[in-house]
């Protein structure tokens, strides 16, 4: 009887455990199958948030979810920083879109390996190719300054030749200053260009010393002087393009997406940031003349121009600050490793490249 009484509590505990076990397993399974909450942010061609979201990032994520048999639901955000803030606050399980992997963002999130790599580019108006645009540089202040310096040098040389030759050679260098210095300038030009007509030439020793010194000087500096005038014409003619590379951003109004790495880039080069929320807004400011250029990630700029051609705009050949795009996850989370494995499998199978070419064409 004593043994039987002692066994009763044991059987009761065992019975309760066996009854509770299926309930616990079912709760665990339910928790594991709960949909992952995914924040969508970014712009085309990576995220197009219509009735059914599409884009490079969306399609790659869909393939990863299929490989992992991972249920999810999406929440859309107007900008990337808002999505990352929600991720850090624990309201999201992942952020999908063209999330640039930066040290600042890595402080509050973990990232998958990059599935796309690109950099920043500049969109600006093309140079004015109208007839007036071609001759306009000849009426610029810079051109007249360069020309004045050049003529002043010729005037000094012409005056020296006239002073040396006016008494011994009055036929070629008349006593009248205007004609005499003018002939001296003509002689200096002919000498500098090595044309050598011979119609005007110094005869005195002093005149030949001046001419010889000018020949030697012009050999060393004439090319530089002419090149200086040419460069002034070239730079002035390109002013209509406003922005050609990052060095031209200083002091200009530069549109870019708010809270994106492009903001820091523009500030680094001295540009005046005009923040917008969407790529279309940046192009609109540019076309309306309220911005001198638009700086953002190259693929988004290329895709927009491909969908909305504008012959008055051009994208820079240069690409700055290349960064990788990845998917963002919380600092503490169980899925990052599995997502990376699935992403690697898609890359090795060529699926990621196929999706990118579908949206961007041959890269």
Residues 314 and 330 in one domain: no
Displacement of CA 185 from its chain's centroid (Å) = 49
Are 60 and 7 found together in one domain? yes
pLDDT of residue 32: 53
Mark whether 212 and 312 lie in a shared domain: no
Same structural domain, 113 and 156: no
Where a domain ends, among 187, 220, 240?
240
Could you tell me the pTM of the whole model?
0.58
Looking at the structure, tell me whether residues 204 and 267 fall in a common domain. Answer: no
Which residue has better confidence, 144 or 204?
A: 204
* CATH, residue 272: 3.40.190.10
114 and 18: one domain? Answer: yes
What CATH number did the domain enclosing 157 receive? 1.10.287.70
Torsion (CA) 8, 10, 14, 15 in degrees, nearest 10: 10
Last residue of a domain, one of 191, 221, 240: 240
pLDDT at 198: 74
The pLDDT tens digits for 14-36 are 454 445 444 443 333 434 568 99
Please give the tally of structural domains in the chain.
3
Indicate whether 16 and 113 sit together in one domain. yes
In the three-class reduction of DSSP (H, G, I as helix; E, B as strand; rest coil), residue 75 is classed as strand
Domain containing residue 209? 132-240
Residue 342 is predicted with a pLDDT of 97
CA-based Rg of the chain, rounded to a whole angstrom? 37
| CB-facing half-sphere around the CA of 324: CA atoms within 13 A | 11
Last residue of a domain, one of 240, 272, 301: 240
End-to-end Cα spacing for the chain: 85
* Residues 258, 186 share a domain: no
Kindly report, residue by residue over 320-354, the tens digit of the pLDDT. 989 899 999 999 888 999 999 999 999 999 999 99
φ and ψ at 50, to 5 degrees?
Answer: -95, -155
Shared-domain flag, residues 220 and 151 = yes
Residue 62 parent element (H or E) = helix 56-68
Specify whether 236 is located in the same domain as 249. no
pLDDT at residue number 297: 93
Residues 168, 206 share a domain: yes
Q: What is the pLDDT of residues 48-77, one digit of tens each?
A: 987 889 999 999 999 999 999 999 999 999
Q: Which of 242 and 41 is assigned the larger pLDDT?
A: 41
> Does one domain contain both 65 and 136?
no
Other residues' Cβ atoms within 10 Å of the Cβ of residue 285? 19
């Amino acid at each position: 009887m004593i043994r039987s009484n002692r066994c009763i509590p044991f059987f009761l505990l065992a019975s309760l455990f066996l009854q509770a076990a299926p309930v616990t397993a079912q709760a665990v399974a339910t928790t594991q199958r709960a949909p992952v909450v995914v924040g969508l942010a970014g712009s085309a061609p990576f995220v197009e948030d219509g009735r059914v979201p599409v884009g490079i990032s969306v399609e790659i994520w869909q393939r990863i979810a299929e490989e992992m048999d991972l249920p999810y639901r999406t929440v859309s955000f107007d900008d990337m920083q808002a999505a990352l803030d929600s991720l850090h606050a624990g309201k999201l399980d992942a952020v999908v879109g063209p999330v640039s992997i930066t040290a600042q963002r890595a402080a509050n999130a973990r990232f998958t390996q990059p599935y796309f790599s690109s950099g920043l580019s500049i969109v600006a108006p093309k140079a004015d190719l109208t007839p007036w645009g071609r001759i306009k540089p000849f009426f610029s202040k810079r051109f007249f300054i360069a020309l004045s310096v050049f003529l002043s040098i010729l005037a000094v040389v012409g005056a020296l030749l006239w002073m040396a030759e006016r008494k011994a050679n009055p036929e070629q260098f008349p006593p009248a200053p205007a004609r005499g210095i003018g002939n001296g300038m003509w002689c200096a030009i002919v000498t500098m260009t090595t044309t050598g007509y011979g119609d005007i030439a110094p005869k005195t020793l002093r005149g030949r010393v001046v001419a010889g010194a000018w020949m030697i000087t012009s050999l060393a500096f004439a090319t530089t002087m002419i090149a200086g005038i040419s460069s002034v014409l070239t730079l002035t003619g390109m002013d209509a393009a406003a922005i050609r590379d990052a060095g031209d951003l200083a002091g200009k109004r530069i549109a870019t997406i708010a809270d994106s790495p492009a903001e820091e880039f523009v500030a680094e080069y001295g540009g005046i940031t005009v923040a917008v929320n969407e790529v279309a807004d940046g192009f609109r400011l540019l076309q309306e003349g309220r911005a001198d250029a638009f700086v953002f990630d190259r693929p988004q700029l290329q895709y927009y121009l491909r969908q909305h051609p504008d012959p008055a705009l051009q994208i820079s050949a240069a690409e700055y600050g290349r960064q990788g795009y990845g998917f963002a996850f919380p600092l503490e989370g169980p899925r990052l490793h599995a997502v990376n494995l699935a992403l690697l499998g898609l890359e090795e199978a060529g699926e990621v490249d196929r999706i990118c070419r579908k949206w961007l064409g041959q890269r």
